Amino acid sequence: MRSTTEIAGRPSWEAYFMSIARLVAERSTCLRRKVGALLVKDKRILATGYNGAPSGLRHCLEIGCLRERLAIPSGQRHELCRGLHAEQNLIIQAAYHGIGIAGATLFCTHFPCVICTKMLINAGVVEVFYLEGYPDELSREMLEEAGVRVMRFKG
């Protein structure tokens, strides 16, 4: 049996899911960084998420960025933001709709922060594919300690 990468023009499963994560990021309302994420299990998408304000609240696109006004550097003081991270939103969406995510793989446009990492570990996520880095060494250490497989996607 041929793998999908051997069929001319057909993307691998990883490339396919990462392209969807990129598309999901386009829904982001963050002024600093557009992040998209999805959870996949058995080649099925379980949930998607992007970063933005909670449902029904005004977005940073509308009212400006609190973190910019306060000159907060990237990777610090996450609580001083109107938005939820993409990973938080997809875990919430799965819970809201009663979808179990234990054993799933995360495809995300950015490496998760430590807050999202702790949530992903406790939710039972077993793999993380990401496109871009993020300045959070503790996150990387915790994923390794938890035995979560982490791979930077290059495609």
The predicted pLDDT at position 73 comes to 85
Number of domains into which the chain is organized = 1
Task: Convert the pLDDT of each residue in 22-54 to its tens digit.
Answer: 999 999 998 888 999 999 999 999 999 999 998
Flag whether 76 is in a domain.
yes
For strand 127-132 and strand 36-41, is the pairing parallel, antiparallel, or unpaired? unpaired
The predicted pLDDT at position 3 comes to 47
Helix (H), strand (E), coil (C) string for 15-40: HHHHHHHHHHHCCCCCCCCCCEEEEE
Flag whether 61 is in a domain.
yes
The predicted pLDDT at position 19 comes to 98
Q: Binding site residues, as ranges?
A: 85, 113, 116
CATH number at residue 28: 3.40.140.10
Flag whether 1 is in a domain.
no
Flag whether 3 is in a domain.
no
Nearest to 27 by CA among 104, 83, 96, 111: 83
- Asked whether the whole model's pTM tops 0.75, one would answer yes
**pLDDT tier at 6 (50, 70, 90 boundaries)?**
low
What is the residue whose two structure tokens read 């998209």?
36
Flag whether 78 is in a domain.
yes
Cα separation, 4 vs 19, whole angstroms: 16
Flag whether 2 is in a domain.
no
Boundaries of domain holding 23: 11-150
Flag whether 82 is in a domain.
yes
**Which sign, positive or negative, has the C-alpha torsion 154, 47, 30, 140?**
negative
128 neighbors 148 (Cβ within 8 angstroms): yes
- On the question of pLDDT at 2 being above 50, the answer is no
Q: Per-residue pLDDT averaged across 112-136, rounded?
A: 93
Q: Binding site residues for Zn(2+), as ranges?
A: 85, 113, 116
Backbone angles phi, psi at 4, to 5 degrees: -65, -25
What is the residue whose two structure tokens read 């979808």?
99
List of E strands, the chain? 36-41, 44-50, 105-110, 127-132, 149-152
Where is pLDDT greater, at 8 or 5?
Answer: 8
The predicted pLDDT at position 102 comes to 98
Which entry of 6, 68, 79, 87 is annotated as an active-site residue? Answer: 87
- On the question of pLDDT at 1 being above 70, the answer is no
Task: Convert the pLDDT of each residue in 66-76 to its tens digit.
Answer: 888 888 887 77
Is 62 catalytic? The answer is no
Cα separation, 129 vs 137, whole angstroms: 16
